[in-house]
Amino acid sequence: MFVPMKNIVDAAYAGKYGVPAVPSNDEVQIRAAIQAAVESRSPLIFLTNNRKDPHFTHYMIKRFADEVDVPVASCLDHSRTFEDCVLGVSSGCSAIMADRSTLPYEENVADVLRLAQIAHAVGVSIEAELGHVGQGDNYAVDGVSALTDPEEAKRFIADTGVDCLAVAVGTAHGAYVGTPKIDFERLKEIDAACQHPLVLHGGSGSGEDNIHRCCELGVAKVNVVNDVMRLTLEGLKNTDLSGNKAYGLYAAINDITVNIVKHLFEVTGSVGKAASCCCGSKNSASEGNPFDSTKE
């Protein structure tokens, strides 16, 4: 069932587990991840972007999600302009991630507050970022700069009303050059100050034990994109698709992706947690959204 992301992260935070947020590049990847969620009885979050037609992507996610009985959400990731965020709301996603993390605090708050009011008015959840999660290929610099301040994070949540907050505690986007060093003490302090669902960006390559520990310290959503894509490619390289076996390409991608995502559920602790974030009905996150393009 397609649900607001808030339902998923609130339940995850209360239960001290995390939920993987995975890529949604095409129908095969979407169907495979949902299959994994059903088999693991886990909630699931998809990450989307506006580089492809977001209306079609969210239509696919919602359609396939509403065919199953586990909670599924979609989040428009790293929307850096007002127009991008509004497009995400209008496309039928269940959450937007308003990324103003490179702006001064007051500008970040002003932009996110405005977008939170728009999103919440039509039942869409909102995530924002405080501090800055940099790039893995520049980890020596990005990994230790602009980390999130616990008290500022508490104030930011109160000032904006965001449903979850992405924090910078030592991870980075993409593939790491260098060894990730997560500041668990800082994360613990952020959790104690905020008492609110947190998000870990740059989950790929951060270490399974590290991710699991982060989920116990308040992280309710873990973004994992690079690992899913990399492991899928590695799996295909080890699959015999010669001759007529090439007709099994999409089935192979499906099976590889299912196994990858099921393992992520184990790492974050979300296996068997589907029922914890269901509200007892199969209402979609887009009900009440006048912009929803999936309605007939």
Q: Which residues make Cβ contacts (< 8 Å) with residue 45, sequence separation at least 6?
A: 5, 8, 19, 20, 21, 22, 72, 73, 74, 75, 95, 221
Give the helix/strand (H/E) hosting 73. Answer: strand 72-79
Backbone angles phi, psi at 129, to 5 degrees: -130, 140
Contact between 101 and 129 (Cβ < 8 Å):
yes
Question: Beta partners for 125?
Answer: 95
Largest CA distance in the chain: 60
201 is in an annotated binding site: yes
Contact between 24 and 76 (Cβ < 8 Å):
no
Residue 77 catalytic? Answer: yes
173 is in an annotated binding site: yes
78 is in an annotated binding site: yes
CA–CA dist 129, 108 (Å, integer): 9
99 is in an annotated binding site: yes
What are the tokens at 84?
């991008």
Which member of 77, 163, 183, 292 is catalytic?
Answer: 77
CA–CA dist 286, 58 (Å, integer): 10
Amino acid at the residue 278: C
CA–CA dist 43, 149 (Å, integer): 29
Smallest CA-to-CA distance from 204 within 235, 182, 230, 236 is with 230
- Location of structure tokens 């602009």: 146
Amino acid at the residue 129: E
CA–CA dist 18, 164 (Å, integer): 12
- Binding-site annotation: residue ranges: 78, 99, 129, 173, 201
* Residues that are catalytic: 77
- Binding-site annotation: residue ranges for Zn(2+): 78, 99, 129, 173, 201
